[in-house]
RNA sequence: GCGUCCUUAGCUCAGCGGCAGAGCACUUCGUUUACACCGAAGGGGUCGUAGGUUCAAAUCCUACAGGACGCACCA
């Protein structure tokens, strides 16, 4: 046994041994007798990393936590399944490849065409995938590679189309012209959750609109405004009646304006009066829908003004704004302008542009439509009962069927559902699941009101016969992620895996994707299966640097898990991400901390070495002393404590207890006190001392395994009687 | 506007009714055959502030201050 634990050399070899053994696969565990056939299942999906590049330290934290859960379950005899996979991440991947190609070759995706571009994306995705797989292995993750999945592979595609078709037939997916978040840069819609808000200071204008003064930060949208809205209870405007018509002087001459009284107006904001632009503002759109008002487009999809704007037509809004303000002033319609008005501008967080709300015909998931849930295993909703997606999502958590840890996120979840609007699922990008809807190409009417059922076909397979053309749009990436817990198990087929492992036991992920993903999984699983996708949700925090800053390339404070693992060993990296952090709280990490746990790995190695060096397999019957018994009892006690913590997902305290017992008690106190007896001439006493120390070590190595799988596996193989045995499937108890 | 979290040793954080804890850093000592990626000893805290509940509060409640964040609004 070497004096130093050589993780650089050993880790890959150990991983290969595990992988070859087949024990990552629960079927093999049953076949080889390490799990009973009728054992309870423990199943979990790996939140599939995006194929946009490399894994970061946050992924490492996720892998560490999940691997602890999985190894603990496996050692406890559960039929344990951890399914790995990657996510095509539609818009994020496409944006990355587009920018790479543009930087290197100066070409856009439109220059290359759909087919060639998609080929390039596939190549990139494949490369990222291979990288990710290497990194997942490096971290020691005991995932079942034989079941690996990709959100865009054949099987998952079938699942996506099936899901779409069922929801479409039920009326839960519809196509409609509604206001969406339009990204003029990437030329696609994005969902509400993909927005990011940037604070911006702009001038704020007060404009004369007939007898009213209206405030606006966006004069460029005002050309089509012909409704003036105020709160029905606003006494200042009591003399105007709802529906009253007034002629007012406006930017391009006199227009007929209509007074609208609506409670959506905030009396305290500005003058309490506003004009509305339903085509380019969500609130205005809602008022217009409610009151059946006209809607007019002012800005085109590239952010340029339409002919309605008169002489400004064709100008980009950013250039037009000051000119338009100037014209208002010239016409005597500008009452005043305030500088430095602060407001938030929505931006596409996936590297896109500034969002311009537009009315567009898109595909939506209707979260408020009633439907009949035929077979329900969701508590609080009976089979055959009518419900809505919203109600269903709420019920699953409210009734405790799904438990979120830490509990405070349940509140956040409910709050989000209360504010949930229909989910826009179509994207005008190329990389992703193409919407499984076809139109008759000879009918040019699909965007018109005259649409009939003959013109449109939705199905899992393309329609027979000629003349059909598929919808050019693709699905939001979260649509395929939403069915991940069961698409990975073979759904829509009722496979053995699906019947055995769904619902999954735990979903472990970062709190930042509670809405994106967790909520949508509950939605999809609820509707398609009448079941929850998982029993528990464990949310970890974001990994930050030692000063608590977010890690980013521009700050230069990123810590790469791979190079850290190479420098200090994967075991050290894992432990440093688990100890000293609580669920849902951000994790701070520094190289110092990792180094500290590398020292612990060395400590384990040396203590084990010492125990082995002093162990002789004598036949002498050991004569245990009271002290020996006390030590053994102590370790038993430790196991009870650690088990209790692990059952509660309290990895911090479990790991911390093990760390301190091993170092402070076992290495510093126990071994020291045993030293004289280990070489004593009194044979039975010597045997007792050796035996006691060995037992203490064995138990601790076992308990440490979920946390530090590599070093413990290596040591385990060196302990007497363990030749050829694998610690990963050793019994915990 | 609605809501959440954080404030504990120099730094990073656990603890969440019952004696103030850890890692790193710091000080002193130690070349004892497991380990200097080590050992022994040690210094360092009004647990953000002010009230309250309680036999007992870092822990529960209220208010305030500072910081981070989520959602909504942003005419």
Local confidence band at A533 (pLDDT 50, 70, 90 cut-offs): very high
Task: Specify the pLDDT at position A522.
Answer: 96
Whether A318 shows a pLDDT value over 80: the answer reads yes
From the alpha carbon of A5, which nucleotide's C1' atom is closest? B37
Question: Is residue A5 very low, low, confident or very high in pLDDT (cuts 50, 70, 90)?
Answer: confident
Nucleotides of chain B within 7 Å of a protein C-beta? 3-6, 11-16, 22-25, 34-35, 37-40, 70-75
Residue A544 has pLDDT above 80, yes or no: no
pLDDT for position A418: 86
CA of A48 to C1' of B30 (A): 52
Global confidence as pTM? 0.92
Please name the residue that has the structure tokens 């709190």. Answer: A511
The spacing between the Cα labelled CA in A668 and the C1' in B27, in angstroms, equals 22
Instruction: Identify nearest nucleotide to residue A204 by CA to C1′ distance.
Output: B75
For nucleotide B15, the protein residue with its alpha carbon nearest to C1' is: A653
Amino acid A506 CA to nucleotide B59 C1' distance, rounded Å: 30
Give percent of chain A above pLDDT 90.
Answer: 72
Which is more confident, A707 or A542? A707
pLDDT reported for residue A450: 47
Predicted pLDDT at A557: 65
Query: Nearest nucleotide by C1' from A265 CA?
Result: B75
Can you give the distance from the CA of residue A711 to the C1' of nucleotide B26 in angstroms?
A: 31
Grouping H, G, I as helix, E, B as strand and the rest as coil, residue A470 is strand
Decide if pLDDT at A112 tops 90.
Answer: yes
How many Cα atoms sit within 13 Å of A413 on the Cβ side? 29
Nucleotide nearest to A548 (CA to C1'): B12
Q: What is the pLDDT of residue A541?
A: 87
pLDDT at residue A12 tops 50: yes
* Sequence-ordered alpha helix ranges (H) in A333-431: 389-398, 408-418
A536 CA to B4 C1', in Å? 21
Average pLDDT (A591-599) is 88
With CA of A276 and C1' of each nucleotide, the nearest comes out as: B75
Q: Which residue lies nearest B69, CA-to-C1' measured?
A: A512
Scanning every strand, the nucleotide with its C1' closest to A547's CA turns out to be B12
Q: Report the distance from CA of residue A586 to the C1' of nucleotide B57 in Å, as an integer.
A: 26
Determine the distance between A580 (CA) and B55 (C1') in angstroms. 34
pLDDT score recorded for residue A552? 60
Class of domain A188-361: alpha beta
Q: What is the mean pLDDT of residues A610-623?
A: 87
Q: What is the pLDDT of residue A296?
A: 92
Distance, CA of A287 to C1' of B1, in Å:
21
**Which of A12-26, A197-211, A640-654 shows the lowest mean pLDDT across its residues?**
A197-211
DSSP 8-state assignment for residue A712:
H
Beta carbons of A177 and A359 less than 8 angstroms apart: yes
Residue A92 near residue A50, CB atoms below 8 Å = yes
Q: What is the mean pLDDT of chain A?
A: 91
Residue A452 pLDDT > 60: no
Find all residues with CB under 8 Å of A451, minimum gap 6, and list them. Answer: A445
**A345-358 pLDDT, tens digit each:** 888 877 668 899 99
Confidence of residue A341 (pLDDT cuts 50, 70, 90): confident
CA dist A468 to A362, A443, A444, Å?
19, 10, 12
Closest residue by C-alpha to C1' distance, nucleotide B1: A266
CA A454 to chain centre: 39
State the Cα–Cα distance between residues A681 and A659, nearest whole angstrom.
33
Query: What does the pLDDT average to over A674-690?
Result: 91
Q: How many Å from the CA of A57 to C1' of B67? A: 25
Q: Which residues contact A388 (CB under 8 A, 6 or more apart)?
A: A367, A368, A369, A370, A371
Arithmetic mean of pLDDT, A259-276: 87
Structure tokens at A668: 């510093």
List the structure tokens of A395. Answer: 């019920």
- Yes or no: say if A537 and A45 are a contact pair by the CB < 8 Å rule: no
Record: fold of A590-729: Isoleucyl-tRNA Synthetase; Domain 1 (1.10.730)
CA of A669 to C1' of B29 (A): 20
In this prediction, residues A148-152 reach a mean pLDDT of 98
The CATH number of A10-151+499-515, from 3.10.20.30, 3.10.180.10, 2.60.15.10, 3.40.50.620, is 3.40.50.620
The C-alpha atoms of residue A694 and residue A616 are separated, in whole angstroms, by 11
Residue A580 burial by CB count (10 A; 0-12/13-18/19+): exposed, middle or buried?
middle
pLDDT of residue A451: 46
Lowest pLDDT segment from A157-171, A443-457, A607-621: A443-457
The pLDDT value given to residue A233 = 87
Give the nearest nucleotide to A609, CA to C1': B34
Identify nearest nucleotide to residue A217 by CA to C1′ distance.
B75
pLDDT of residue A449: 45
Q: Between β-strands A188-190 and A227-230, what pairing exists: parallel, antiparallel or unpaired? A: unpaired
Taking the C-alpha atoms of residue A65 and residue A575, their distance in angstroms, rounded to an integer, is 9
Q: Can you tell me the distance from the alpha carbon of A278 to that of A287, in angstroms, rounded to the nearest whole number? A: 8
Lowest-confidence region among A251-260, A546-555, A560-569, A599-608: A546-555
Q: Can you tell me the mean pLDDT for A32-43?
A: 96
Backbone angles phi, psi at A490, to 5 degrees: 105, -10
Report the C-alpha gap between A36 and A588 in whole angstroms: 40
Taking the domains of chain A in order of start, what are their residue ranges?
10-151+499-515, 188-361, 590-729
Q: Tell me the nt nearest to A585, Cα to C1'.
A: B5
**DSSP of A23-63:** TTSHHHHHHTTSS-TTPPEEEEE--PPBTTS---HHHHHHH
Check pLDDT > 60 for residue A610. Answer: yes
User: Considering only CA atoms, which residue is closest to the C1' of nucleotide B37?
Assistant: A599
Round to a whole number and report the distance in Å from the CA of A434 to the C1' of B48.
Answer: 55
**Separation between Cα atoms, residue A510 and residue A585, nearest integer Å:** 10
- Tell me which residue of A17, A1, A45, A6 sits closest to A538, measured CA to CA: A45
Can you tell me which residue has its alpha carbon closest to the C1' of nucleotide B72? Answer: A419
**Apex A720 CA angle, A717 and A722, nearest 5:** 40
Looking at per-residue pLDDT, the higher value among A565 and A199 belongs to A565
The answer, yes or no, to whether residue A475 has pLDDT greater than 50, is: yes
């Amino acid at each position: 046994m070497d004096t130093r634990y050589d993780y650089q050399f050993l880790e890959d070899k150990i991983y290969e041994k595990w992988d070859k053994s087949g024990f990552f696969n629960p079927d093999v565990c049953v076949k080889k007798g390490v799990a009973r056939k009728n054992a309870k299942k423990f199943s979990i999906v790996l939140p599939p990393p995006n194929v946009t590049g490399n894994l970061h330290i946050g992924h490492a934290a996720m892998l560490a936590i999940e691997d602890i859960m999985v190894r603990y379950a496996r050692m406890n005899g559960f039929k344990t399944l951890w399914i790995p996979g990657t996510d095509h991440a539609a818009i994020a991947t496409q944006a990355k490849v587009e920018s790479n190609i543009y930087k290197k070759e100066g070409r856009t995706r439109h220059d290359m065409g759909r087919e060639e571009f998609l080929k390039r994306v596939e190549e990139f995705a494949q490369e990222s995938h291979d990288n990710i797989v290497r990194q997942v292995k490096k971290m020691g993750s005991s995932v079942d590679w034989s079941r690996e999945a990709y959100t865009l592979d054949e099987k998952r595609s079938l699942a996506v189309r099936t899901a779409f078709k069922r929801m479409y037939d039920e009326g839960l997916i519809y196509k409609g012209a509604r206001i969406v978040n339009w990204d003029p840069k990437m030329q696609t819609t994005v969902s509400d959750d993909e927005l990011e808000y940037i604070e911006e200071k702009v001038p704020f204008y007060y404009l004369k609109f007939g007898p009213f003064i209206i405030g606006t930060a966006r004069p460029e949208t005002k050309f089509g405004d012909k409704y003036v809205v105020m709160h029905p209870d606003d006494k200042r405007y009591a003399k105007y009646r709802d529906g009253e018509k007034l002629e007012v002087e406006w930017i391009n001459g006199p227009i007929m304006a209509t007074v609208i009284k609506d409670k959506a107006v905030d009396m305290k904001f500005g003058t309490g009066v506003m004009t509305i632009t339903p085509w380019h503002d969500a609130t205005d759109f809602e008022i217009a829908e409610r009151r059946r008002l006209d809607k007019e487009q002012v800005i085109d999809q590239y952010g340029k003004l339409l002919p309605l704007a008169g002489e400004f037509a064709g100008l980009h809004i950013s250039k037009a704004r000051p000119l338009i303000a100037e014209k208002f002033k010239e016409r005597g319609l500008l009452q005043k302008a305030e500088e430095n008005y602060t407001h938030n501008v929505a931006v596409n967080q996936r590297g896109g542009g500034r969002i311009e709300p537009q009315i567009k015909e898109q595909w939506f998931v209707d979260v408020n439509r009633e439907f009949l849930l035929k077979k329900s295993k969701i508590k609080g909703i009976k089979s055959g009962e009518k419900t809505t997606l919203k109600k269903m999502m709420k019920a699953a958590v409210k009734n405790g069927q799904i438990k979120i840890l830490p509990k405070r996120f349940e509140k956040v979840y409910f709050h989000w559902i209360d504010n949930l609007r229909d989910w826009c699922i179509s994207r005008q990008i190329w990389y992703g699941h193409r919407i499984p809807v076809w139109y008759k190409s000879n009918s040019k009417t699909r965007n018109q009101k005259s649409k009939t059922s003959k013109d449109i076909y939705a199905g899992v397979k393309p329609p027979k016969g000629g003349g059909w053309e598929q919808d050019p749009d693709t699905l939001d990436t979260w649509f395929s992620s939403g069915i991940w817990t069961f698409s990975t198990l073979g759904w829509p087929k009722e496979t053995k895996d699906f019947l055995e492992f769904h619902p999954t036991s735990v979903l472990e992920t970062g709190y930042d994707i509670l809405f994106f993903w967790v909520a949508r999984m509950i939605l999809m699983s609820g509707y398609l299966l009448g079941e929850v996708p998982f029993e528990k949700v464990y949310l970890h925090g974001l990994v930050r640097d030692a000063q608590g800053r977010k890690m980013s390339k521009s700050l230069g404070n990123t810590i790469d898990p791979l190079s850290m693992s190479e420098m200090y060993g994967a075991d050290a990296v894992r432990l440093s991400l688990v100890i000293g952090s609580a669920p849902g709280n951000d994790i701070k990490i520094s190289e110092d901390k990792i180094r500290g746990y590398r020292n612990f790995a060395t400590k384990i190695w040396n203590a084990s070495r010492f125990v082995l060096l002093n162990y002789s397999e004598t036949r002498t019957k050991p004569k245990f002393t009271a002290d020996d018994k006390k030590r053994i009892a102590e370790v038993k006690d430790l196991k009870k404590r650690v088990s209790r913590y692990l059952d509660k997902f309290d990895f911090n305290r479990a790991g911390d207890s093990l760390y301190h017992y091993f170092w402070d008690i076992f290495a510093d106190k126990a071994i020291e006190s045993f030293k004289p007896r280990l070489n004593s001439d009194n044979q039975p006493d010597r045997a007792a001392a050796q035996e006691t120390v060995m037992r203490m070590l064995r138990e601790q190595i076992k308990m440490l395994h979920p946390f530090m799988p590599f070093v413990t596996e290596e040591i385990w193989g060196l302990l007497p009687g363990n030749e050829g045995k694998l610690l990963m499937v050793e019994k915990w108890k």
